[in-house]
Amino acid sequence: MNLKILVTGSEGFIGSHIIEKLVKKGYKVKALVLYNFNNSYGWLDTLDKKTLKEIEIIAGDIRDLGFLLQITKKIDIILHLAALISIPYSYKAPYSSLESNILGSFNILESAKINSVKKIIMTSTSEVYGTAQQVPINERHPLNPQSPYAASKVAADKISLSYNRSFDLPVTIIRPFNTYGPRQSLRAIIPSIISQLVSGKKIIEIGDISPKRDFTYINDTVDAFLLAIKSKKIIGEEINLGNGFDISIGQILNILKEDFKFDFKIKINKERLRPKKSEVYRLIASNIKAKKLLNWKPKHNGLQGFRRGLKKTIKWYEDSNNLKYFRVNEYNI
């Protein structure tokens, strides 16, 4: 395909999976990874050589407008996934979240405007809604950020929409609900639990087990981004990506015991608890808009779909060649 696509955050969990799919579909891909001391490309380093040959990889930083102005020249579409995503870290270093997520997003938008990019897909988060005030959560649900991270993403979303309304910039906001699957950081709840189990631990350290989430398997999230690239109906829109099915952390623990035969006990670690007013207790998406505008049909929906996604995820983390990339014995904030 002739379209040239820039993916920021391409070395990360969702970004690396999107890169793989884009290459398979024949797109010209430019992958932005965060500049670092040892020239690591993150998860892109684990892709096969044939795929890597098809990717133009550039190291840099979304906080540098001058840099972005250069690399967005002759780009048709931007998929902006780069962000500082840790909620616990945003308690300790809130300015870092604000700088990366707000300034970084502004720089992407400004670069896209100056260089006349044809479509910009910004990545949001279900955390912008806070604990559900009504269910399922549609795109008109009030925004109620309960952490510095969530607040930074609300600001980025609002700036994105302002660029669409003020400058007619072709912006779309995609808002995933708790994507999970292979390569996810241990900062997320599912890989945090699974990594402890597959490494042989019998006592699993965990935070609050009552919150409920709408978990979306990585392949389904990636499919939505690919559909968004092609869609002509989504400019200026915010679109939730979720299954419309929620499950508590406690219920997941029971599934791991009953369905997957893991033998363990849990230990509530106070370090893993959010401040009480900051905890988001329920997130469940309405995906009506995603189905209508993207023709998106998640394949891992409902309880059975979740179990299938969980099985694939466990299998990936069980492989020592994958688990070696993580610090299982440390609490990752």
Active site residues: 149
For 177, 185, 333, the CA distances from 195, given in Å and listed in that order, are 21, 10, 15
* Token pair in block for residue 303: 């309880």
| Terminal C-alpha separation, the chain | 40
The answer to whether 176 touches 126, Cβ cutoff 8 Å, is yes
Q: Are strands 212-213 and 247-248 parallel, antiparallel or unpaired?
A: antiparallel
Tokens 């993403």 -> residue = 153
The Cα 144–Cα 4 span in angstroms is 36
Tokens 């490309």 -> residue = 41
Q: Is 240 helix (H, G, I), strand (E, B) or coil?
A: strand
The answer to whether 243 touches 298, Cβ cutoff 8 Å, is yes
φ/ψ bin of 306: left (φ > 0), alpha (ψ from -120 to 50), beta (otherwise) = alpha
CB burial of residue 10 (10 Å; 0-12, 13-18, 19+): buried
The answer to whether 23 touches 55, Cβ cutoff 8 Å, is yes
The Cα 254–Cα 261 span in angstroms is 10
φ/ψ bin of 35: left (φ > 0), alpha (ψ from -120 to 50), beta (otherwise) = beta
H helices of the chain, where? 13-24, 49-53, 65-71, 87-92, 94-98, 104-114, 148-167, 189-198, 218-230, 249-258, 288-294, 302-318, 320-323
